[in-house]
């Protein structure tokens, strides 16, 4: 009986609970990776790709601890120069550098960045462009994520024979990048010609054209110094450009990687020290001089002739054309002048009688 009682009081060991099935931990957003396809029309061996775009992409990879990777599509790998905005917008690439000037009437107000101003480094051009984007130009870019916006550094006119005056340009055929530069070439009595940059070398070599309006980097990048040994250091401004990202690609990117992208791409030229004033006015110009290119500085009275024509026939006309389309042309120009003044950039073709109106935008 006692044995039975003791047996009845004995505790029964609890049944073992089968181990819960182990669930794989969710990958936190902080561990997600992102591969960027980057496109630009710049030639692979040019200053832009070698000293700006590849270093910028490397910096994205570095700051993200390898979570951002990239593939580059330089030159015409994905399409011609004028197609590069749509290449990004339509998702053929995730991020890219495009030229707004090459798509006429699509970004009308953004053409203000193409005015004939003395921007000597692309880092400054981006500071100016970004501020203009924040003030007014954002309204023209609703279908992409704008990472940075800029005009280029000032373009010069490069020719196969010397040019010292307006009269020397009469009858010359000059390759134009499009946009406002076309009107500047016409205003000086030359004939603007349109063709892809890749066709310019042969056209200069065979006399189809007598020269080109472009920036020093592209002149060197396409080896045009082998043919045209004469440059006039009067600013023609240059094209409006920028770094943009496909909206779907942007939305898929984790927030912490978005922050890295915005930080790195806001001013790629400042970040990489590529194509700053020191590089362009030093290394690039000096290398062109070493190859026999002569740079001619216009005397003050001749420079005044050029810029007076630009002011009357290009700047005022642009404002008038914008206003006729119902766009704030004058307000945009006055804002632009205020931003240029802030960054110490000269605008020799700005209409003097509008100077007082600039103050309200500073």
pLDDT digits (tens, 9 = 90+) for 7-28: 333 333 444 444 444 444 445 5
Task: Supply the mean pLDDT for the chain.
Answer: 93
CA distance 334 to 340: 10
* Cα atoms in the Cβ-side hemisphere of radius 13 Å centred on 149: 27
- Residue ranges of the alpha helices (H) in 76-142? 84-89, 122-135
Q: What is the dihedral of CA 324, 330, 333, 339, to 10 degrees?
A: -150
Cross-strand pairs, 296: 232
CA distance 328 to 349: 19
CA distance 144 to 315: 28
* 185: its two tokens: 């070439």
pLDDT at 6: 33
pLDDT at 17: 46
State the DSSP code for 146: E
Q: pLDDT class for 287, splitting at 50, 70, 90?
A: very high
pLDDT at 193: 98
* Structural domains in the chain plus CATH codes: 33-151+238-281 (3.40.190.170)
More confident residue, 159 or 1: 159
229: buried, middle or exposed (CB in 10 Å: 19+, 13-18, 0-12)?
Answer: middle
More confident residue, 95 or 22: 95
Helices and strands counted in the chain (H then E) = 17, 11
- pTM for this model (two decimals): 0.89
CA distance 52 to 46: 10
CA distance 184 to 236: 7
Q: pLDDT class for 95, splitting at 50, 70, 90?
A: very high
**For residue range 164-191, what is the model confidence (pLDDT) as tens digits?**
999 999 999 999 999 999 999 999 999 9
**For residue range 327-350, what is the model confidence (pLDDT) as tens digits?**
999 999 999 999 999 999 999 999
């Amino acid at each position: 009986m006692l044995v039975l009682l003791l047996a009845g009081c004995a505790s029964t060991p609890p049944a073992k609970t089968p181990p819960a099935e182990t669930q794989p931990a969710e990958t936190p957003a902080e561990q997600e990776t992102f591969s960027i396809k980057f496109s630009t029309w710049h030639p692979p061996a040019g200053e832009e790709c070698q000293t700006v775009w590849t270093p910028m992409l490397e910096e994205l990879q570095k700051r993200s601890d390898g979570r951002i990777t990239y593939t580059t599509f330089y030159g015409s790998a994905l399409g011609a120069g004028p197609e590069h905005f749509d290449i990004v917008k339509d998702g053929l690439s995730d991020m890219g550098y495009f030229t707004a000037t090459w798509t006429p009437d699509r970004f009308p107000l953004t053409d203000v960045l193409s005015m004939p101003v003395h921007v000597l480094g692309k880092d400054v051009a981006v500071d100016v462009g970004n501020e203009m984007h924040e003030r007014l130009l954002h309204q023209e870019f609703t279908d992409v994520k704008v990472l940075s916006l800029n005009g280029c550094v000032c373009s010069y006119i490069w020719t196969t024979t010397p040019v010292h005056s307006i009269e020397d340009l009469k009858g010359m055929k000059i390759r134009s990048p499009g946009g406002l530069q076309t009107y500047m070439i016409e205003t000086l009595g030359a004939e603007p010609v349109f063709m892809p940059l890749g066709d310019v070398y042969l056209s200069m070599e065979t006399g189809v054209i007598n020269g080109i309006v472009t920036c020093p980097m592209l002149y060197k990048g396409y080896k045009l110094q082998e043919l045209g040994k004469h440059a006039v250091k009067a600013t023609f401004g240059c094209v409006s450009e920028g770094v943009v990202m496909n909206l779907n690609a942007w939305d898929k990117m984790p927030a912490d990687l978005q922050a890295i992208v915005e930080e790195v791409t806001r001013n790629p030229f400042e970040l990489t020290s590529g194509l700053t004033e020191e590089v362009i006015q030093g290394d690039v110009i000096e290398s062109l001089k070493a190859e026999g290119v002569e740079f001619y500085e216009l005397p003050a009275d001749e420079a005044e002739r050029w810029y007076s024509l630009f002011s009357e026939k290009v700047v005022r006309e642009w404002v008038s054309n914008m206003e006729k389309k119902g766009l704030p042309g004058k307000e945009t120009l006055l804002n632009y002048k205020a931003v240029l003044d802030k960054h110490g950039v000269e605008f020799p073709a700005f209409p003097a009688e509008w100077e007082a109106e600039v103050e309200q935008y500073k």
